[in-house]
Amino acid sequence: MTAPVSDRIDRFVQETLRPLVVAASAPVDISAWRVPGEPVPFSDILDKPFQPFTVGQRWGTPWSTLWLHVTGLVPAAWTVTPHHRIELILDLGFNGESPGFQAEALAFRPDGTIVKGVSPRNAWVPVEQGTVDLYLELAANPTIPPESHWRSTHLGASALPEGAELYTLRRLDIGLVDTRAERLLLDIDVLCGLANQLPEHSPRRARIWASVTAMLDGIDPDDLPGSLGRARESLAPALAARASDSAHTILATGHAHIDSAWLWPVRETIRKCARTFSNVLELLERYPDMTFACSSAQQLAWMEEHYPEIFARIGEQVRAGRFILVGGQWVEPDTNLPGSEATARQLIVGKRWFLDKFGVDTTEVWLPDTFGYSASLPQLIRLSGAEWFMTQKISWNQTNRMPHHTFWWEGIDGTRVFTHFPPIETYNAELSPAELAHAERTFTDHGTQSVSLAPFGWGDGGGGPTREMVEVAHRQQDLEGSPRVTLGSPRDFYELARGESAVLPVWTGEMYLELHRGTLTTQLKTKQGNRRTERLLHEAEMWGATAALYGRATYPFALLQEAWQQTLLLQFHDILPGSSIAWVHREAEAAYADLAIKLEDSIRASLAALTGEGERKLVANSAPLTLGMVSAGGVGATPTPLSETRLTARPEGGWVLQNALTRVVVDADGVIVGLSGPSGREAIPRGERAAVLRLHPDYPDKWDAWDIDRHYRTRAVELDRADTVEASVTDGAGRVSASRRVGNSLITQIVRLDPDSPSVEVELRVDWRERHRLLRMYVPLEIHADATRAEIQFGHVTRSTHANTSWDEARFEVVAQRWIHVAEAEYAVAIANDSTYGHSVERGISAEGAVVTTVGLSVLRAPTFPDPDADQGHHEMRFRIRPEATLTDAAEEGHQLDRALRSIRGSDDVPPLVTSSNAAVRVNTVKLAEDASEDLIVRVYESSGGRQTTTLAFAVAFASIEEVDLIERPIDDARCFSDTASLELTLRPFQILTLRCRRADSH
């Protein structure tokens, strides 16, 4: 009997009920002005020449803006009862895609105040006082469906002022809405949706269908409007049946996961935020039990700058406890690619902004959509003052499911943070019965937990919650056969869940996303810009603080604040990973170039003030380790090489490069075939080649820019033959340069051994013109390594080299920051990079029976969606391979490639502001305090993974030094030192410690 009832109700809804929702309509007068370029504010449009415009007319070349002026009167003949509502109804030409991926609009009153946004599923504007006089800003955002995956499009290149118009204005009129029909529709959606989730022979399911049948039988076709009340009464008992005592509880919080850039540029995100937040504010006024969670300080900062009226209204709702600030970060960032200090600064800058603007100290880190989770995060979360962590993306794992939804997540230092994965498995929930049933079925912790979280509202491209979502939440608050739905805040969820069980399971280490592995490689120029900018920020802060505390210059507070905010924005999880349209990445590269100019100027000014005028050749070392005989954080004389590198031709072809520490053998095609350090042990297996390049086909199954799928390994072309090879000694360094043409691309590979260098450097210069190809470099090592160590923020992680379990097998492409370390008991090799993050490690057996551990590095990709020209052009990157390397050696190589040594000219050496006596305890950050005081902030961390003691020595006097949190506030049981010339500190493995050093003459 179910199918006939289902078919009958479907026909009734589509043919009879939906047409009753708008009982009457009336036309409006429309005029339009096409913006000739980029969007303009409301204040700029009132004197523009608006021209007549009609429904049915086309509008909107890609990324253009059309302003409409809409006027009209509510017909006097309309009978408006308590069952009716009057509103402007719009169809901008919407297609079947979700909100946020097509045309949108923002409605203004004639005085410039904002009413609300317009998008699919939220295409109405209230009519106030019987008249319509509104301005609508229409955004012709082209539809670039994320589900197209690999279908190339040029719509994301830039604004296209010429060409075909994308949309047709299908509807724009005044509507008389019958709220009885509207509410009956929602009743039917909930009950029929629930029935479809229940077991086929469930009594509850049968009773729901019986109620629906009775409702349909009671409809009078000759008095449809008059039947609506009776129809709702027929369904009322089914809606009033209460949930069982053991029903799962879903705490639903309004949300809009607005990507700060993705398939649209940043400028459009700003307008998306205005449209979404204005909708949210309207809903908060309409529904007193609703709350809304907003996670990005950057997006609210845009409102303060561009839409101060919305910002003021948000402030009122924040103070009322309805607009909930969560997350505590500047944006929702990637967590694999940003460096140590940048990962901390997302929390520092974000939380301080929320505190400064609203007085709110956020208590959670809210990262629903990012591509993996660094094992450094738990400690940083807790050090920022936050208490718990929420994400969703891990549910996208291809191979393994996370075993728990509510648990403790333990980081590399042992810090644990309360963590929750919403089992509804979306951050864009509509709170449909199907979604709620999925959450209850999926939840793995029913034995100890009874509550989960559900962020609801249209996201990605914005939109947020709708009134329909709130209404269905109310209907499912206590409904038999369904989880209970409670509207509340994320904090409400945390307090409920945290109080339910004293003992929770523990997940230790990184949370690896078994998907989107290509984001470690795609859009290399964006990644290089980030790596360079992070280094420049570190230098600008350290040399600026040194110059300020030595009384030589003023600290550049304003420059650094602006630069950090820009850098943190560009670390958003669809920008830095390389998964945005071309427009976004070209703007990112331009922003990095501009930041480089400003930061370089600041660094040069600080160093000039410190070293004075002169022509001495000096080296400034910004690394936390001594490099080139120059102390960490100091400036000293340029070291003189002890010897030159010798270049010797081999009788069988090729060359030997050798200095006092390292011997490198290069074959006739310019590929490394031998590498040894002082002991003479050979690192490269006999008959193998190191730093050899291979070209793989790269056709991901689904997400083009995002994914590297395992099947790329099935085919490869080894680029082992050179077109030209040259060998020389220049400035004491031996070089072998080999050029290879492959397809339409030209690759020059330079093997270089510098005087006194313990490592060989490999430089790649690539003119890349491929499509759907993956260029990788392989380094086979005769090392029996059970595991490798790879640098992450504030430490390193250990990963197995075998594939004993499905979890190990899924990690076929992993992240490393600047280095990876491959070791057996008494021997190790470090491989460092200057801008490569994607790595693989495989273990095999050579022809001679030796265990070989091969490290692969993903150098370049060539996806065509969403940017059809991703990674095309000229690239340069460098690597170092160091035999007989300790973990500290690996870090040294990484800092060398990170250009931590800066050659300058001046007259004076500069002693470091702060030094650590133990190289394992590293001074990561030296800067002045965020509150613009003259206090010095020093952030150190333990890098080896063992308990370490060090003495920190300071070159200037301080009145006191105290331990603070990341936000630079005193912490409970903090250490405070009055003897400040030097401090003895003991740090646990991978511990991060922040010290605030107060000047004797400051306060």
- Active-site annotation holder among 189, 361, 369, 909: 369
Amino acid at the residue 9: I
Three-state SS annotation for 692-724:
EEEEEECCCCCCCCCCCCHHHHHCCEECCCCCE
Q: Give the phi and the psi of residue 930 in degrees, each rounded to 5.
A: -65, -20
The H or E element containing residue 602 is helix 582-611
Please check whether residue 758 is in contact with residue 892, taking contact to mean a CB–CB distance below 8 angstroms.
no
Q: Rounded to whole angstroms, how far apart are CA atoms 891 and 904?
A: 23
Which residues have a Cβ under 8 Å from the Cβ of 166 and sit 6 or more positions away? 60, 61, 62, 93, 103, 140, 142, 143
Eight-state DSSP code of residue 864: -
Eight-state DSSP code of residue 240: H
Give the closest residue to 367 by CA, choosing from 358, 378, 359. Answer: 378
Please check whether residue 241 is in contact with residue 479, taking contact to mean a CB–CB distance below 8 angstroms.
yes
- CA–chain centroid gap for 559, Å, is 24
Q: Is 711 helix (H, G, I), strand (E, B) or coil?
A: helix
Please check whether residue 507 is in contact with residue 404, taking contact to mean a CB–CB distance below 8 angstroms.
yes
Q: List the structure tokens of 80.
A: 């408006």
CA atoms within 13 A on the CB side of 179: 11
Please check whether residue 142 is in contact with residue 158, taking contact to mean a CB–CB distance below 8 angstroms.
no
369 catalytic, yes or no?
Answer: yes
Computed from CA positions of residues 635, 636, 637, 638, in that sequence, does the dihedral angle turn out positive or negative? Answer: negative
Q: Rounded to whole angstroms, how far apart are CA atoms 887 and 889?
A: 5
- Sort 849 into a burial class: Cβ within 10 Å, 0-12 / 13-18 / 19+: exposed
Q: Rounded to whole angstroms, how far apart are CA atoms 743 and 612?
A: 52
Give the closest residue to 871 by CA, choosing from 515, 594, 570, 527. Answer: 527
Which residues have a Cβ under 8 Å from the Cβ of 942 and sit 6 or more positions away? 413, 795, 920, 921, 948, 987, 988, 989, 990, 991
Q: Rounded to whole angstroms, how far apart are CA atoms 209 and 496?
A: 35
Please check whether residue 470 is in contact with residue 253, taking contact to mean a CB–CB distance below 8 angstroms.
no
Please check whether residue 360 is in contact with residue 397, taking contact to mean a CB–CB distance below 8 angstroms.
no
Look up tokens 């260029």; give the residue. 775
* Helix ranges restricted to H, 790-905: 806-810, 887-897
Q: Rounded to whole angstroms, how far apart are CA atoms 818 and 837?
A: 8
Q: Show which residues are catalytic.
A: 369
